[in-house]
Chains A and B, each alone.
Chain A
Amino acid sequence: MANERIILLGVMIVAGILCGMMINVALDRKPWELGGITGGAVVGFLMWLL
């Protein structure tokens, strides 16, 4: 159960980072620009937490 929660956290953060990278591209930035990646990681974490 605990392992699955941790794996899920990883999956959601990866999904968030992917989303952030897509937003970076959509806003004419480089996909790996820090803002989108940090924002995406926070989104993934918050969604997992709540």
Chain B
Amino acid sequence: MVVLGMELWFIIGLIALILFFVVIVASLLGFIPQDRLPIQSALVLTAFVIAILAFIGNILDPSISQIGFIDLIGMIIIHPITALAAGFLAAGALEVAGAFDAAADALTRLEQLKVKGVAVFGITGTVTLLINMPTIIAMPCGRILAAALMPAALGLGYKVARRLGDPRMVGVIVFAFIVNAAASCGPSPLGGIGLLGEGLAKLPLASLSDPQQTGIIICTGVCALVMKFVTPLFPADMKKEEIKKKDEEIEVANDGGEELTVKVKEEEEEGLPPPPDDEEEPPPPDDEPIPEPLTPESPKEKESLFKRMSRMDTHLKNGYISLGLFMIVLALTLILQPVIPIQTILVVLAMVIMLIGRAKIQDLMAGVILHPIMAMTAGFLVAGAMGLAGGFDVLLILLRGLAEFEIAGFAILGYLGVAIILVNIPTIMPMPCGRILAAALVPGVYVYGEALVEITGNQIVLPVVLGAFIVNAAASCGPSPLGGIGGIGEGNMGVEIGSSGKSQQCGILFATGVTGLVIAFVVGATMI
């Protein structure tokens, strides 16, 4: 059936596609208020509207197939969801066992590590390790480590900022850490977003992880640089601290009648104070209370202090054991690639860590974060509806048309230009969870990747496009203003929500490119 010079199936597919992108953009721009209709619910509704469209299309033209409720539910792929849930169980057990406290403790010890009087890591090495910690451990959702290690990142940020007299340092450390945490769900073998691409393209488990991790390392550094030099953010309390200090100085100067001193001090504050040459801790500021030494007076207090310390030691000890066990099991799983499903390994690991950390089932259940599970389910539903309504066929036709669009015999974008836009769509439209667009668009990216393989005759193009898209999607929840991971850092620093987005997006652009490069030139041969 032809309507307005177009096939009816094409019109339905086009409407489905437009509807999907309209819902995404309207949510981003605030036209769909997230407190009333969250993006996940809006996408489930979209899936049902697309199903109704297909039903009407079927009445007009019986060659168009209906989309039933069972068809929609059948589109939810269970494997990544169960892997994600198992990953959360393991993460919950690790948290209760104190593994993340142990990681923070290890970082503090590393800072003080010296060989022949020379600091091996120092403050910058510790910062580099801390902000990359989420991708080293690679949990199924970046929120787990973002929340667990945020106090350590903030503490280190304030310490460096006070030491250098530069409040920008808090933002540099916090948001480099945040973008790393946001992207860390991409390479995670514990139900990370990478599984979607690996499953679809029948690639080995975690084969896209190393290239993504390489990209994320570069992304973290770039984000730190942009945050320092282009879009600096100042923590609200540190600004207050400075104003308070300035007021006090003026007050003191007025009392003594020495206005000249104030002017000199103000001039000094405008420029950066010279950083200290060594790693020594500066004396605490005057307005900061000096902590009293731990010398309890009464035997009762002494006992409770001793008990408290011994409890903390056990907690840390358990944490170190759990973290070590987790890392060994993870490394062995990736190296040996056993036939046992990753879910089983994770559940058994969670049970062992439960025993070590004496955690309860409730603790484990508390570790399960529903937000990404719902996001992935909504993504699968809308992707399923779009796929059944012909949305991805229309997408492919539109992308091909865009690639072949010429002005005066000169292709404006070409197939490569379109591929670059396609893999960056998740960060152009950052959703609160990267799984939404990853699940919804990964079939489209796969189809376009196959088309690119046909055109170029190069098999490696498909994993390159998939890997680049996945790392972009995974990291995109960092700069999202709709309750993305960036909000954790922005909330803690007391800055405007979404204000760290641009620096993170700059970093993610680098991650996308570097991931593609590493797949193409380093690991690609093992994938095809």
Contacts and interface: CB of A to CB of B under 8 A. Distances in A.
Nearest to A24: B124
B260 interface: no
Contact of A28 (B166, B213, B221): B166
B526 A1 contact: yes
Contact of B128 (A11, A20, A48, A49): A20
B32 interface: no
B180 to A, nearest CB: 10
A50 to B, nearest CB: 6
A42 B380 CA distance: 37
B128 A36 contact: yes
A45 to B, nearest CB: 10
Interface string B495-528: 0000000000000000000100010001101100
B122 A35 contact: yes
Between B122, B220, B221, the greatest number of chain A beta carbons within 10 A of the residue's beta carbon is seen for: B221
A50 B218 contact: no
A40 B227 CA distance: 19
Interface in A5-39: 7-8, 11-12, 15-16, 18-29, 33-39
B122 A34 contact: yes
A46 B132 CA distance: 10
Contact of A47 (B213, B227, B228): B213
Given A12-B210, A47-B135, A50-B330, A26 B225 contact: yes
Interface residues of B, number: 48
Interface in B203-232: 210, 213-214, 217-218, 220-222, 224-225, 227-228
Interface stretch (B113-121, B280-288, B390-398, B484-492): B113-121
Nearest to B220: A19
The residue in B120, B132, B227, B523 that gathers the most chain A C-beta atoms within 10 A of its C-beta is B132
Contact of B522 (A7, A25, A34): A7
Contacts of B334: 50
Interface in B156-191: 160, 164, 166, 169, 172, 176
B522 A38 contact: no
B276 to A, nearest CB: 11
A19 B526 contact: no
A18 B224 contact: no
A11 to B, nearest CB: 6
Contacts of B160: 27
B224 A26 contact: yes
A50 B124 CA distance: 23
Contacts of A22: 221-222, 224-225
B37 interface: no
Contacts of B291: none
Contact of A36 (B125, B137, B272, B522): B125
A1 B207 CA distance: 12
B210 A23 contact: no
Nearest to B279: A35
Interface string B99-134: 000000000000000000011111111111101100
Nearest to A47: B213
Contacts of A1: 526
Nearest to B211: A8
A38 B111 CA distance: 12
Contact of B129 (A4, A12, A43, A49): A43
B138 interface: yes
A8 B330 CA distance: 19
A34 B169 CA distance: 19
B218 A15 contact: yes
Interface in B369-413: none
A50 B132 contact: no
B217 A27 contact: no
A26 to B, nearest CB: 4
Contacts of A28: 164, 166, 272, 275
A4 B523 contact: yes
B136 interface: yes
B104 to A, nearest CB: 15
B331 interface: yes
Interface of A: 1, 4, 7-8, 11-12, 15-16, 18-29, 33-40, 42-44, 46-50
24 contacts: A1-B526, A4-B522, A12-B213, A19-B218, A19-B220, A23-B124, A23-B131, A23-B176, A27-B164, A28-B275, A33-B124, A34-B119, A35-B128, A38-B125, A39-B121, A39-B124, A39-B127, A39-B129, A42-B121, A43-B136, A44-B217, A47-B217, A48-B213, A50-B334
The 6 closest A-B pairs by CB, nearest first: A22-B221, A39-B125, A35-B122, A39-B128, A35-B125, A19-B221
